[in-house]
Amino acid sequence: MLLAIDTATRNISIALHDGGEVFFERTWCSNNQHSVELAPAVQDALYQLDVVGNAELTAMAVAIGPGTYTGLRVGVAFAKGFAAARRIPLIGITTLDILAAAQPTFPGALVAVVQAGRGRVAAARYVWRENRWQLVSEPVSTDWEMLLMQIDSPALITGEIDADARERLAYAVGMGLPVTIASGASRLRRAGFLAEEALYWLNAAADGPESKAHNAPVRGDAAQVIPVYVKTKDSP
């Protein structure tokens, strides 16, 4: 059983996955109460599945950002301590990879975004290859104006899109920009997809040499899993 937790932004999401299906998943808005709400929520999830003492847990995954400073620190610190104490592997997955994993194939690029504050977003571009979305550019911090200026071919946008961003996107689409906004439900970052991304990389490592893809996560040693922050640039 793999335990996945995500506290990277205002939401908290927890999931338990056995490699075949999600046995438990909960996502809610924490309102900056991550340090108070995370541990009890994990305990409740484990007891609901009768995983008393965590004996059935074999791995753990955590969202490592981009995201808020406090949210990331709470989740990563909890995951590292939890995994190290139980001597189970810990896999760090970026928030943008989690968002991408929730989207089906699309005839164009995928742009995943996470709110970065002050009108900015952390964004990254993906393309569909080998039956999954694969990162093609390092995540950057940018604003919506610069992000939209870089789109010149069909693109699906997913992630944290607030009311102001929706207005900007609606205007851009009206002006002919080839952009599609993913549905609200599919844009919610869920720990079930975090778990499946972690399982993908665990299985890839078991099947052969580690992938050399530049977005391949650190896996195994909890001490090596650290939060990811992005530098300000003009475009993803």
pLDDT in tens, 121-144: 999 999 999 999 999 988 999 999
Q: What is the pLDDT of residue 13?
A: 98
At residue 51, the pLDDT reads 59
Q: What share of the chain is helix, strand, coil (3-state, %, to 5)?
A: 35, 30, 35
Give Rg (Cα) of the chain.
17
Q: What percent of the chain has pLDDT over 70?
A: 89
CATH code for residues 2-94+189-224? 3.30.420.40
Residue with token string 């609200």 = 184
Percent of the chain exceeding pLDDT 90 equals 76
The residue type found at 194 is L
The CATH number that domain 96-187 falls under is 3.30.420
Q: Is the pLDDT of residue 201 over 60?
A: yes
Q: Are 71 and 203 in contact (CB under 8 A)?
A: no
> Which has more pLDDT, 139 or 118?
139
What residues are paired with 214 via a beta bridge? Answer: none
Q: Looking at the chain, which residues constitute the CATH 3.30.420.40 domain(s)?
A: 2-94+189-224
Q: Which range (108-122, 150-164, 208-222) has the least confidence?
A: 208-222
Q: What average pLDDT does the segment 195-216 reach?
A: 73
Residue 178 has pLDDT above 90, yes or no: yes
Mean pLDDT (the chain) is 90
Q: Are 59 and 198 in contact (CB under 8 A)?
A: yes
Say yes or no to pLDDT of 56 above 90: no
Q: Which residue has the higher pLDDT, 215 or 99?
A: 99
